[in-house]
Each structure stands twice: as C-alpha cells, then as structure tokens.
C-alpha cells in the first residue's frame, strides 16, 4: 500500500461519504524459483513480499458494487452482483469484480460493496499485482459476508476470477503466495495436490538481500506468449502420454527427445528441469540457507531464456550484469516477456549491483530500470 491504513480509510470516507468497515491488504509476490510449472501440476517456491495492495471496504444493503482506486478516485466502476458475468467488465476492474463473481459462482453470497483500492505493487513487473488485488478483495468480501471461507478456498476463487473473468490462463501460485505467505519464509507449493508448507528464507539473518530489477517492460498474462507456452506444455504431456508434465522426470527427457518436435521438447525440458530445481532449492534452503541458492537461480534463467524462450534483452541484461557485478545468482521472475528479474546479493554488494545494472541499461539504450529490495512478508489479512 502506498497509503497507510488510516489514510486509505480517510480517502474512502471522502469518496463514498461514510467510513469503511475496515481495511484489508494482500501482498504481491516474488517467485524465487519454479516458473511456468504451476499450470503443469508441478512445484513452485514463491514468497509474499513487503509491497501490497490495500482495499477499504464496506457492505451495502443492495446488490450493487462500486469500485475505484486512489490512482483515479473519480473513475468509479459500478456493477450489479447478480448480473456480473465474464465479458461484461473490461480493464483493471475485472479483477476485483471477478472475485465477487467467483464468490457467487462458488455458491456463496457476497453483499453489495463499496471498494477503494490502493497499491504499492508495481503493475506489469511480474510481481503479481493482479493476485494482490484479487486476494485483498477476497479477504475483505470473506470477512464482510461471514462466509468463513478457508485460505485454500480463497485461492481457488482468485484463480477462477483470473481465468474466467479476466481471461488469463494462470495457475494458483500467485494467490497461494499472497494468501499463505509468512514473514521470513517462502511457500513450497505442490500445484497438483494444493498442499503447501513454509520453508525458511531468512535473508536478513544471512546478510543477504533480494533485489527486484523491474525492467519496466510491461507484460500481460492474458495475451500472446503465455497462452502459447501453455499449449506447448499440454501438447508435450499428451504426446508423452502423461496427465501433466509434472509426471515426467529428468530421466524421461531422452525418450521425449525422440518423440517431440524440437520446440516442444525444449518447452518440456524447461518444465521438467525446473521442477527438479524447485525441489533442490527447498533442500538447499533447509540444509544450507539462502546463500547457497545462486547456481540454481542462474540455471533457471538459462532454461527460461533458451528452452522456454520467455526472456527479453532487458531481462538478460539485468541478470548477466548483476551476476558479473557480484550477485550470487539471478533470474527473471514471473511470466516473462518483460517484467522483472531478481538478484540474490550480499547486503554490502547491493548498491554496487544496482548501480551496475542501471548503467548497463543506459549503455544499451533501455528505459532505466526500477531496482529495490524485497523481504518475505506475511500474507493477506485485515489491517484495521
């Protein structure tokens, strides 16, 4: 949140003429490792970050929803809960309204609501600003409706909203990180069983920082390459005779090379090896701590660059420069085709790495990146 809870509540009162029932927030996320494995029933290792989306909300006596944001407080989107449906709402409002539609679609009744949104999660950077928005609205609606939905049920509602209302074919990783995260920990998620557990990620105690390097090249999950990669994965699983690529191991890649066309094989190889890297990362964090993650981050980026082909010149420049300047490891994070990369650095090297990346972008003629550290934070909940 850019505003404090009290500031957001005051802005709500000014906009809607009455005080909100409360303020709720949900964090964005960084995916430490495990990219595009979620919709392949695989493993991911994200963590909630200390940048969040807040929502001030109150229930109404009718079935109307009014939603606006602090970025355009006079731009109010209004809808009837009973007539909400996919295809009827465009733009950013599809995310919060999609959550309320998904609550109804899942068999629960949400009251009409007034909502004012505020956020400090960069949009289009691969830090899941969309899931932060969905989860903030979901926990607010859950509390105000007394539905008593579990966190896992709210994860499913967020995914349904994004898949059907927004039209983005995403998995459950983003919502899981935003709802299940805890300070000082990453969330190890099995995307098939939906089982999760917390894994220690004590960056501060290890003298480390994780730098987000936002290239400011925006991306969108609902268009283009993301959907194409998903189709390639589904084709690879079908041709290999398995329910999902999760069911293949590194040992199966030799057989896959003989059955698949060259492009599909490379897509499959990324998913299979990335699943293995996630499990290796959990072991490393448990046994050795975050300082030993560097090589796994580097090989993950190479796989996304060469096999899955979702990197970009800006992302590669950020990753390569960070490692050359002293980062322990670096990789792009998020869906790709823009967005952000992350670099694991010793705290004393943070400024030098950030400066080197900024200078490299200037030399290449790219838009200046936005670089900032993040820490593992707690998940979504009520603030006031």
Say what angle helices 94-105 and 129-145 make with each other, to 10 degrees: 50
pLDDT reported for residue 7 = 98
Return the CA Rg of the chain. Answer: 21
226 or 181, greater pLDDT: 181
pLDDT reported for residue 188 = 98
Q: Are strands 64-69 and 113-119 parallel, antiparallel or unpaired?
A: parallel
Q: Tell me which H or E stretch contains 276.
A: helix 262-287
- Residue 80, CA distances (Å) to 12, 65, 113, 120, 136 in order: 20, 6, 10, 28, 20
308 or 222, greater pLDDT: 308
- pLDDT one-digit tens code per residue, 94-134: 999 999 999 999 999 889 999 999 999 988 777 889 999 99
Give the E-state strand segments of 242-300 in sequence order.
Answer: none
Which long-range contacts does 276-284 make (Cβ < 8 Å, 24+ apart)? 276/249, 276/250, 277/33, 277/34, 278/33, 278/34, 278/37, 278/42, 278/43, 278/44, 278/45, 278/188, 279/43, 281/32, 281/33, 281/34, 281/45, 282/45, 282/188, 282/199
| Average pLDDT of span 329-353 | 95
Confidence of residue 151 (pLDDT cuts 50, 70, 90): very high
**pLDDT tops 50 at residue 294:** yes
Confidence of residue 222 (pLDDT cuts 50, 70, 90): very low
- Residue 283, CA distances (Å) to 58, 111, 208, 296, 312 in order: 44, 45, 19, 12, 30
Strand, coil or helix: 14: helix
Name the token pair of 240. 């290999």
CA atoms 304, 309, 312, 317: torsion sign: positive
Cα–Cα nearest to 269, from 256, 258, 281: 256
- pLDDT one-digit tens code per residue, 223-282: 568 889 999 999 999 999 999 999 999 999 999 999 999 999 999 999 999 999 999 999
The percentage of residues in the chain with a pLDDT greater than 70, rounded to a whole number, is 98
Residue 278's contacts (CB-CB under 8 Å, 6 or more residues apart) are 33, 34, 37, 42, 43, 44, 45, 188
**pLDDT tops 70 at residue 15:** yes
pLDDT reported for residue 223 = 52
**pLDDT tops 90 at residue 168:** no
Cα(133)–Cα(259) distance, integer angstroms: 42
Concatenating the DSSP letter of every residue in 110-138 gives PPPEEEEEEE-SPTTSSS-HHHHHHHHHH
**pLDDT tops 80 at residue 219:** no
Ranking 9-18, 136-145, 216-225 by mean pLDDT, the lowest is 216-225
- pLDDT one-digit tens code per residue, 362-374: 999 999 999 999 9
Question: Residue written as tokens 């199966």?
Answer: 252
- Is there a catalytic annotation at residue 283? no
Confidence of residue 154 (pLDDT cuts 50, 70, 90): very high
Cα–Cα nearest to 155, from 123, 183, 190: 190
Pair 101, 82: CB distance under 8 Å: no
pTM: 0.92
**Which residue of the set 41, 174, 307, 349 is catalytic?**
174
Instruction: Compute the half-sphere exposure of residue 116: CA atoms within 13 Å on the CB side of its CA.
Output: 29
Confidence of residue 218 (pLDDT cuts 50, 70, 90): confident
Q: How many helices (H) and strands (E) does the chain have?
A: 11, 12
Q: What average pLDDT does the structure give for the chain?
A: 95
């Amino acid at each position: 949140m850019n505003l404090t809870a009290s500031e957001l509540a005051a802005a709500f009162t000014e906009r809607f003429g009455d005080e909100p029932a409360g303020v709720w927030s949900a964090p964005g996320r960084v995916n430490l490792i495990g990219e595009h494995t979620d919709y392949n029933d695989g493993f991911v290792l994200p963590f909630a970050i200390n940048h969040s989306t807040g929502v001030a909300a109150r229930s109404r006596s009718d079935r109307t929803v009014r939603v606006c944001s602090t970025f355009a407080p006079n731009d109010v989107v209004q809808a009837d809960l009973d007539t909400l449906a996919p295809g009827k709402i465009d733009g950013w409002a599809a995310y919060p309204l999609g959550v309320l539609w998904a609550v109804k679609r899942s068999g629960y009744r949400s009251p009409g609501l007034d909502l004012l949104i505020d956020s400090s999660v960069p949009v289009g950077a691969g830090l899941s600003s969309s899931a932060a928005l969905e989860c903030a609205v979901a926990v607010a609606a859950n509390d105000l409706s007394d539905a008593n939905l579990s966190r896992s049920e709210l994860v499913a509602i967020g995914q349904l909203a994004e898949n059907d209302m927004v039209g983005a074919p995403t998995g459950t990783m983003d919502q899981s990180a935003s709802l299940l995260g805890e300070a000082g920990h990453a969330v190890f998620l099995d995307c098939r069983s939906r089982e999760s557990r917390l894994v220690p990620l004590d960056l501060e105690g290890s003298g480390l920082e994780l730098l987000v390097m936002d290239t400011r090249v925006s991306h969108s999950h609902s268009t283009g390459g993301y959907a194409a990669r998903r189709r390639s994965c589904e084709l690879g699983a079908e041709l290999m005779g398995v329910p999902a690529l999760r069911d293949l191991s590194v040992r199966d890649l030799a057989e896959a090379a003989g059955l698949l066309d060259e492009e599909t094989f490379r897509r499959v190889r990324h998913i299979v090896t990335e699943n293995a890297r996630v499990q290796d990362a959990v072991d490393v964090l448990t046994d050795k701590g975050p300082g030993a993650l560097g090589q796994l981050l580097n090989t993950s980026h190479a796989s996304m660059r060469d096999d899955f082909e979702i990197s970009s010149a800006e992302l590669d420049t950020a990753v390569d420069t960070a490692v050359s300047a002293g980062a322990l490891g670096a990789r792009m994070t998020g869906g790709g085709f823009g967005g952000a990369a992350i670099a694991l650095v010793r705290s004393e090297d943070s400024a030098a790495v950030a400066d080197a990346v900024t200078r490299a972008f200037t030399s290449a003629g790219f838009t200046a990146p936005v670089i900032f550290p993040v820490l593992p934070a707690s998940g979504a909940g009520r603030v006031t």
